């Protein structure tokens, strides 16, 4: 991979939910771009450790840190430990998320609450701790022109309603307004807060939607680009949003979805 180890040189990053899928790829690409990366995981200690080993084998810097993003005390402890290890933090990737799908009338309060507390409250808790450190430290011009960067991993479902996934779509819609409001509040401090909204990306979360030829053909009807996304598609966007190359980008959502949000049903229709 032709990633420049100078793009994020000297920067410290924390990626939540980095033991698999999109989070793992983002952590790898941030490390390839020169950042030291704290690899947060919830339950997959082994894969998180493997990722750290891979990053170190490529002369990068990383360590694993366990925490449930929905628990305030665990998030506070995770940030203290990261600051102790790295001295400061420049980049937060709010990635941890899950689905608990159910037809609406059968959806339990537990399914609703768990998705909201991980996907939305988890991003709030982590963004707040990161922002405190960005404000305390301010801009270090030799490191980055921003005092800090927060990247929220949202979804096309922040705009596309999703039957059978009401909790998930509501959490992602919430991420959008949360992200923009934090961005508006913190922009005067040179803290850049943005989102990436992935479409259908091949990860464990949606395996059943692409792992048979029949399922993939059905899914491709929703994607004008006629390709299911790869985690690298998202990781490359994250590196850009984390770097000074996006210095004037505040409070925006970058859709990386092969055109899923372009109403593909209207091709030759309507
Ligand atoms: C969901 C996936 C889904 C994709 C497109 C993502 O946010 O997590 O399960 O395939 O959106 O619908």
| Tens-place pLDDT, residues 201-225 | 999 999 999 999 999 999 999 999 9
- 217, 96, 118, 218: which is closest to 167 by C-alpha? 118
- Sequential DSSP letters for 25-66: HHHHHHHHTT-EEEEEESS-HHHHHHHHHHHHHTT--EEEEE
Q: Which residues contact 169 (CB under 8 A, 6 or more apart)?
A: 157, 158, 160, 161, 162
**Across residues 131-138, what is the average pLDDT?**
98
Residue 237 in tokens? 């966007």
Judge if the beta carbon of residue 209 lies within 6 A of ligand 1. Answer: yes
Judge if the beta carbon of residue 199 lies within 6 A of ligand 1. Answer: yes
- 187, 92, 164: which is closest to 133 by C-alpha? 92
Q: Say what percent of the chain tops pLDDT 90.
A: 98
- Can you give the pTM of this predicted structure? 0.98
Name 253's bridge partners.
195
Judge if the beta carbon of residue 157 lies within 6 A of ligand 1. Answer: yes
Query: Catalytic site residue 168?
Result: yes
Q: Which residues contact 198 (CB under 8 A, 6 or more apart)?
A: 22, 153, 154, 155, 156, 229, 233, 234, 256, 257
User: pLDDT tens digit string along 155-211?
Assistant: 999 999 999 999 999 999 999 999 999 999 999 999 999 999 999 999 999 999 999
pLDDT for position 5: 87
Ligand 1 pocket test, candidate residues 157, 216, 255, most atoms within 8 A of CB: 157
**Across residues 109-119, what is the average pLDDT?**
98
Query: Is the sign of the CA dihedral 155, 201, 204, 236 positive or negative?
Result: negative
Q: Say what percent of the chain tops pLDDT 70.
A: 99
User: pLDDT tens digit string along 145-158?
Assistant: 999 999 999 999 99
User: pLDDT tens digit string along 55-71?
Assistant: 999 999 999 999 999 99
Q: Measured in whole angstroms, how far is the alpha carbon of residue 242 from the centre of its chain? A: 11
Give me the domains of the chain, ranges plus CATH numbers.
12-258 (3.40.50.720)
pLDDT for position 3: 81
Ligand 1 pocket test, candidate residues 171, 205, 220, 234, most atoms within 8 A of CB: 205
φ, ψ of residue 11 in degrees (nearest 5): -95, 150
CB burial string 221-241: b at 16+ within 10 A, e below: ebbbeeebbebebbbbbbbbb
**Looking at ligand 1, which atom is closest to the CA of residue 260?**
5
Residue 53 confidence (pLDDT) above 70: yes
**Across residues 239-265, what is the average pLDDT?**
98
Q: Measured in whole angstroms, how far is the alpha carbon of residue 72 from the centre of its chain? A: 19
**Across residues 70-78, what is the average pLDDT?**
98
Q: Which one of 29, 168, 250, 263 is the catalytic residue? A: 168
CA of 131 relative to ligand 1 center, distance in Å: 28
Mean pLDDT, the chain, whole residue set:
98
Is the Cβ–Cβ distance between 257 and 198 less than 8 Å? yes
pLDDT for position 2: 66
Residue 1 confidence (pLDDT) above 70: no
Ligand 1 pocket test, candidate residues 155, 171, 219, 263, most atoms within 8 A of CB: 155
Judge if the beta carbon of residue 206 lies within 6 A of ligand 1. Answer: yes
Judge if the beta carbon of residue 165 lies within 6 A of ligand 1. Answer: no
- Measured at the CA of 147, the angle between CA 141 and CA 151, to 5 degrees, comes to 125
pLDDT for position 268: 94
Q: Which residues contact 97 (CB under 8 A, 6 or more apart)?
A: 17, 118, 119, 122, 153, 171, 205
CA of 108 relative to ligand 1 center, distance in Å: 21
């Amino acid at each position: 991979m032709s990633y420049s180890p100078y793009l994020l040189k000297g920067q410290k990053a924390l990626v939540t939910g980095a033991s698999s899928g999109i989070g793992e790829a983002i952590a790898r690409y941030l490390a390839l771009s020169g950042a030291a990366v704290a690899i947060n995981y919830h339950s997959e200690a082994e894969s998180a450790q493997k990722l750290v080993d891979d990053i170190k084998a490529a002369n990068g810097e990383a360590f694993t840190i366990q925490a449930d993003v929905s628990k305030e005390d665990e998030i506070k402890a995770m940030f203290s430990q990261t600051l102790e290890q790295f001295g400061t933090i420049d980049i937060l990737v709010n990635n941890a998320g899950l689905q608990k799908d159910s037809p609406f009338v059968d959806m339990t309060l537990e399914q609703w609450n768990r998705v909201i507390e991980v996907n939305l409250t988890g991003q709030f808790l982590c963004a707040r701790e990161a922002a405190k450190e960005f404000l305390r430290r301010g801009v270090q011009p030799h490191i980055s022109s921003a005092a800090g960067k927060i990247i929220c991993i949202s979804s096309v479902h922040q705009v596309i309603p999703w039957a059978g996934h009401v909790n998930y779509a509501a959490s992602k819609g919430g991420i959008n307004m949360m992200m923009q409001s934090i961005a508006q509040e913190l922009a005067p401090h040179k803290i850049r807060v943005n989102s990436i909204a992935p479409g259908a990306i091949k990860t464990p979360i949606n395996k059943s939607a692409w792992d048979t030829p029949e399922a993939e053909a059905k899914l491709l009807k929703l994607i004008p680009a006629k390709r299911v996304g790869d985690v690298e598609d998202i990781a490359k966007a994250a590196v850009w949003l984390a770097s000074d190359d996006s210095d004037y980008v505040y409070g925006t959502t970058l859709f990386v979805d092969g055109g899923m949000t372009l109403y593909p049903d209207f091709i030759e229709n309507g």
